[in-house]
Structure 1
């Protein structure tokens, strides 16, 4: 995918994810009560894991894109595999976060992982953008 299309694809995925999510304000009387912090649901776990994948992809994409001067193993591997890792984990985070957002019952704060799903989608889109930029820079250098 060309780098010029990455922002438009990212915006389309974000709009599609938000459009598929059920509006929380549609039926305020049907919403469950807010969950406490110790409640662990499948939505929270899925959203948290996909947000962590998006964060991992964003960090790897940023390291691949940055022109670092370090000589360590982590920096060398991040330069070599960072773009592919960012693209893969970013795509997984967007799909998983979108799935949790689309299937969550209730609004934010109800314990279904809707807030974490939005964070996962945004971090996944960031990882996809950074991975695409790093990959295009690597192709231009050869």
Structure 2
């Protein structure tokens, strides 16, 4: 069971559930645009600044969803991070954050070449896709769990 009845109630009543529901697709949209800009740079050599700006935007969206997500976890499960139902998603999120942050450090510190920095961003994006998949599977499990529990109760 993903949520206890009390956790489900707290989840459904939390305003942070709505915030997560808005930020997650917004972050994905930013990711798609940014990925296209990074691929454009690698295929044409043009648009490096646009790619950098888009990666910064993606990273800021990631930070926003992680901060609000930890607030959500605290409200629903009583823990800021690594609550039982989302433990492995949160662990993998740390890898995602580390790679996005490494990109920012490289950019701000002038570390490495543009191509190296963009490859770090692509690695961050690959981990983000895996992590987003983890969360989508949890969302699906939560949706499947509710009708099954209602059917048993009724």
When the two structures are superposed, what TM-score results if normalisation uses the length of structure 2?
0.40
